[in-house]
Structure 1
Amino acid sequence: MNKSFSLSRRRFLLTATASTFGTLVLHGCTQSQSQSAVSQSAAANGLETTTVALGFLPVVDCAPLVVAKEKGFFAKYGMTDVRLAKQPSWAALRDNVELGSSGGGIDGGQFQSPIPELISEGIITKGNEIIPMYTLARLNTHSVGISLASKYQDLRVTKDSSSLKQTFAQAKAANQPLKCAITFPRSSIDLWLHYWLAAGGIDPTSEASILVVPPAQVVSNLKRGTMDLFCATDPWNSRLVNEGAGFTAATSGEIWKNHPEKAFAMRAEWVDRHPKATIALLQAILEAQQWCDQPEHHRELAALLVKPDYTNAPLAAIEGRLSGRFDYGDGRVVNDPSLAVRFWSNGDVSISYPFKSHDLWFLVENLRWGKIPADLDLQAIVNRTNRDDLWKEAAKQIGVPTAQIPTRSSRGVETFFDGIQFDPDNPQAYLQSLKIRRM
């Protein structure tokens, strides 16, 4: 596969708008703070810098970054000038991390997997430029849903998509394939949709029309009838239900319990230049993740996230996801705390630790659908990009009990809702077990 395949006219249009929208800086320190004061603050804390620009999308799993800023955890560890830059799309986030803060962009932030790896390999960058990235932590689990327009409600679609098989086939035969919205190609959102459709016997590469739509536009597209279904991060699924325009078929936690979701990643050159500041950022984010998971903080967390500077979502659209209460909009209302968005852990399952086995799955699944070159050494890419060593160092420094720090970079064999298993030690067996694939 030619790497230039990743570039398109749409991509260039999105890139052109990134510098306009992607650098909307929120809650930063004032520009009046002198450089000497910053240097003195950094020296006092033993850090190389106190300044960093982090990008985020207005979705529920930006919570650790928001809390680290709003509750003072960044400042606690000496990072007193952390600027949170709200992005209009995942494409803008990618474009701005390509620029780096020295070019008016960002140094890192909240990413869908495996976008850091694909940026590092130059697969999705302008001109296929290689920009090394490091994955430093996993921000959360769950938080994603697959939702459909109301006209499909009689089909009683759930995590089993097979009830849509005939509908997809008829639409294809009429040369009007169902339009499915995702928020970024090759990303976790794209892969959840592909997996869900294929598990129900629907080939997403030949039977569906999959289009990239900015997160803020997925609900409006379904309401206008220009899309049939979408896969997106909350609060967009709950907003669709609250507006009476559709229903949620499945949440990502039903597809893969305790799955890896968004990642905290940084440009490698920033990390390599600022090792102490990197640990400080991680300390703040890890402590923020612990804070987010405490039930007594959920109401305050929801109130923070719904601010216009962050998600600007209705309070109800956030609160339910934090508690595990899901109104699917089709008559099903479920209270299941084990499916709630989690940031630090879920029971005895570590969520924050960046398992290399999870990074590998995202790349293998892209390989399954022919979205990356077949000759890539996937494990080598993961090993270059994943810095679980820095996570461990930060965890130890904030006093995380030894028992809560994983000793292996693999979480072992993972099982999906349809019984398929992924053994990170044998990805080929996983690929061969899949009935629908386009390698």
Structure 2
Amino acid sequence: MPSDPVEMVDDLAKMGLYKPDAFTIAQSISEAELRKQLFLKIVCKGDSKRERLVGDLIQLAGGLDQAFAAAFGPKAGDFFRDAQRTSSVTRREFLRNIAVGAALVTLTNCAPGGNKPDIGDTNVDPELTAKLEKTELKVGFIPITCATPIIMSEPLGFYKKHGLNAKVVKMPSWGAVRDSAIAGELDAYHMLAPMPIAMTLGLGSSSFGVKLASIENINGQAITVANRHKGKVKGPADFKGFVIGVPFPYSMHNLLLRYYLATGGIDPDKDVKIRPVPPPDSIAQLVAGDIDAYLMPDPFNQRAVFEGEGFIHKLTKDLWPNHPCCAFAASDEWIDANPNTFRALNKSIIEAAGYASKAENRPEIAKAISERAFLNQPTEVVEAVLTGKFDDGNGQTLDIPDRIDFDPYPWQSFANWISSQLVRWDLQGDGKAKTAIDGKYDEVGKDIFLTDVARELATELGQTPPDEIYKTETLAFDEFDPANPAQYIEEQIKKYDV
């Protein structure tokens, strides 16, 4: 047997002793480690204390890619290409690392408890596959637990089960997701529920037709406050003067934060500063004092507690039980060009959401999506979010099973509430939302939220989606009648004078 790891692993691969994706996974890990070492070598110049500090900041940001993208955006690729040319790491050494990494990947997958969960019959119908317009797909995602069905569908085999070789692509921010969607760089995307409405109507960007195909998660967010404010924040009025992070202007996070602050007499546009912050950068900004609090998707609320930097003030499920957050979306143009592929992709995600909705499956899902290629977070942090067994940073250990949940049904009443708040808050300050939406709530919702398609696919999977498309939404401070969104806005403004 050859002594060189590269030759040895090559022989073992030919013998069929490796999982097919072991080398792909190992290469991504090796490249990530190489990039990190290059960055530390060039930036820290041998200063061990500086290296530890930079390493901690990278960890807080959720990984080097997130930290570097947040700091330098598209210039990150240029930096690493230049750095790699000057590196002392040889191609042979790099290949050796990949070979050893592949061995470790395979050994890990063969270890006790390393088997994939049982997701049912995974045999693909050849007739179905033959109808697919394309099978090699790229689906963009932000590394947050809201994306669980989209992420888990790759490692757990839901995409493959429906005849697709779909790869999830980690994105640094929601702005990058929007821009990549418009540029046609992705086949489909993980989006915040308000984004398809905003993009289609040209709010915050040029008009670009996007459909919301299914809801990724309900609940799953929280308001987290820096520990330096512990004991001072009891309710919405106490946020006056704060700088508060949200992941994107057209997000449920921004709309729910504004809803909450207004009930305490806080004008979100005058009494606080609401700042867009990429989720992976949120903890670093909290630690640095750039923001005082944030309403963010998990796992970054729980990660702040884990790091001893913040406490969970309120779960968003307490503001609106079972509210929508993130969604699976694709452009009008892509859906029209790939109707069968779109249905297969949406169906795989709806099935994954159904699987994730079962509490007994969540510990295994947490292990699968915590990995470096996906969330890049400690498994115990992700598991705390998915199981609802968590410390809140205020000395309490809580058990809230629906802290996050997964129901893919895109209620039209969700669309109407979102639209009502886009009109109420006029985020662009030009009245465009009111012009585009007022008097056309049902029309806008039915054009963008594909409720009937989601119901049809869920029924094919044996799920039991509702027959209705509207329901009265009960929030913490009021009820929303989807038939009267304009009246709802008037009542909100009258009640809180904001």
Which TM-score band applies after superposition, normalised by the shorter structure? 0.7 to 0.9
Q: In structure 2, what is the Cα distance between the partners aligned to 1:230 and 1:215? A: 10
Amino acid at match of 2:426: G
Q: Secondary structure of 2:231's match?
A: helix
Shift in CA distance, 83/107, structure 1 to aligned 2, threshold 3 Å = same
Q: Does 1:106 align with 2:186?
A: yes
Equivalence for 1:86: 170
Matched, 1:393 2:456: yes
Q: Is the 8 A contact 2:315 2:403 kept in 1?
A: no
Matching of residue 209 in structure 1 with residue 284 in structure 2: no
Q: What does 1:4-83 correspond to in 2, within 5 Å?
A: 17=73, 44-80=129-165, 82-83=166-167
Deviation at 1:240, TM superposition (A): 0.7
Q: TM-score, normalised by structure 2?
A: 0.71
For 1:359 and 1:68, the matched residues in 2 are separated by: 26
Give me the whole-angstrom Cα distance separating, in 2, the residues matched to 1:107 and 1:271. 9
Q: Which residue of 1 aligns with 2:433?
A: 373
1:383 counterpart (441, 446, 458):
446
Q: 1:298 aligns with which of 362, 379, 387?
A: 362
What is the CA–CA distance in structure 2 between the aligned matches of 1:241 and 1:43, rounded to whole Å?
46
Q: Deviations along 1:339-361, whole A, 9 cap, x unmatched?
A: 32111xxxxxxx21111110121
Which AA in structure 1 matches 2:299?
Answer: P
Which secondary structure state, in structure 2, belongs to the residue aligned with residue 53 of structure 1?
A: strand
| 1:392 CA displacement | 2.1
Q: Which residue of 1 aligns with 2:111?
A: none
Q: Distance in 2 between matches of 1:42 and 1:95?
A: 35
CA separation in 2, counterparts of 1:149 and 1:380?
42
Per the TM alignment, residue 20 of structure 1 is displaced from its structure 2 partner at its CA by 6.5
Q: 1:226 to 1:108 in 2, by over 3 A?
A: same
Identity across aligned pairs (percent)? 28
CA displacement 1:26-47 (0-9 Å, x = unmatched)? xxxxxxxxxxxxxxx8985321
TM-score norm. by structure 1 comes to: 0.80
Q: 1:241 touches 1:329 (CA, 8 Å); kept in 2?
A: yes
Where does 1:212-223 land on structure 2 (aligned, <5 Å)?
212-223=276-287
Alpha-carbon separation, structure 2, partners of 1:131 and 1:230: 29
| Correspondent of 1:143 among 220, 224, 231 | 220
Q: Note the C-alpha offset of 1:325.
A: 2.0
> Retained in 2: the 8 A contact 1:367–1:374?
yes
CA shift for structure 1 position 192? 1.7
1:432, distance to aligned residue in structure 2 (A): 1.8
Q: 1:271 to 1:437 in 2, by over 3 A?
A: farther
In structure 1, stretches of 5+ residues that fail to align are 1-12, 22-40, 169-176, 344-350
1:226 Cα offset (Å): 1.6
2:467 paired residue among 407, 410, 413: 407
Report the aligned-residue RMSD: 2.1
Which ranges of structure 2 fall in alignment gaps of 5 or more residues? Answer: 1-68, 78-125
Shift of 1:249: 0.5
SS in structure 1 at match of 2:131:
coil
Offset of 1:257 from its aligned partner?
A: 0.6
| Paired AA for residue 161 in structure 1 | P
Structure 2: how far apart are the matches of 1:333 and 1:342? 19
Deviations 1:258-287 (A, max 9, x none): 111111110111111111111111221111
Q: In the alignment, residue 173 of structure 2 is paired with which amino acid?
A: S
**Matches of 1:237 and 1:341 in 2, distance apart?**
12
Of the two structures, which has the highest relative contact order with CA contacts closer than 8 Å and spacing of 6 or more? 1
**Residues 332 and 399 from structure 1, CA distance in 2 versus in 1: closer, same or farther, beyond 3 angstroms?**
same
Taking the TM superposition and a 5 Å limit, the aligned residue runs for 1:231-246 are 231-246=295-310
1:123–1:326 CA distance, 2 compared to 1 (3 A): same
| Structure 2 residue aligned with 1:34 | none
Q: What amino acid is aligned across from residue 435 of structure 2 in structure 1?
A: D
- Which whole-Å CA distance do the structure 2 matches of 1:68 and 1:45 have between them? 21
- Residue 287 (1) aligns with residue 312 (2): no
Corresponding position of 1:416: 475
Residues 45-101 of structure 1: CA deviation (Å, up to 9, x unaligned):
321221322110000011101221112111111112x1211000111111100111x
State the AA in 1 paired with 2:176.
Answer: A
Match of 2:261 in 1: 197
Does the aligned pair in 1 maintain the 2:128–2:163 contact within 8 Å? no
Residues 273 and 291 of structure 1: CA distance in aligned 2, closer, same or farther (over 3 Å): same
Give the drift of 1:389: 2.1
2-structure distance, mates of 1:55, 1:364? 28
Alpha-carbon distance in 1 for matches of 2:197, 2:169: 21
Report how far residue 309 of structure 1 moved. 0.8
Give 1:311 shift: 0.9
Q: 1:356 aligns with which of 409, 412, 416?
A: 412
Moved more, 199-208 or 378-387: 378-387
> What is the Cα deviation at residue 18 of structure 1?
5.8
2:485 aligned residue (424, 427, 436) = 427
The separation in 2 between residues aligned to 1:113 and 1:225, in whole angstroms, is 29
Among 336, 341, 352, the alignment partner of 1:277 is 341
- Kept in 1: contact 2:215–2:325 (CA 8 A): yes
How far apart, in 1, do the equivalents of 2:491 and 2:474 lie? 13
Counterpart of 2:328 in 1: which secondary structure?
A: strand
Q: Does the 8 Å contact 1:368/1:437 carry over to 2?
A: no
Q: How many residues align?
A: 372
8 Å CA contact 2:413–2:473 kept in 1: the answer is no
Report if aligned partners of 1:42, 1:48 keep a CA contact under 8 Å in 2: no
Deviation at 1:306, TM superposition (A): 1.0
- Structure 1 window deviating more from structure 2 (82-91 vs 315-324): it is 315-324
Question: Once the two structures are superposed, what CA deviation does each residue of 1:279-298 show, in whole Å capped at 9, x if it has no partner?
Answer: 11122111111221223322
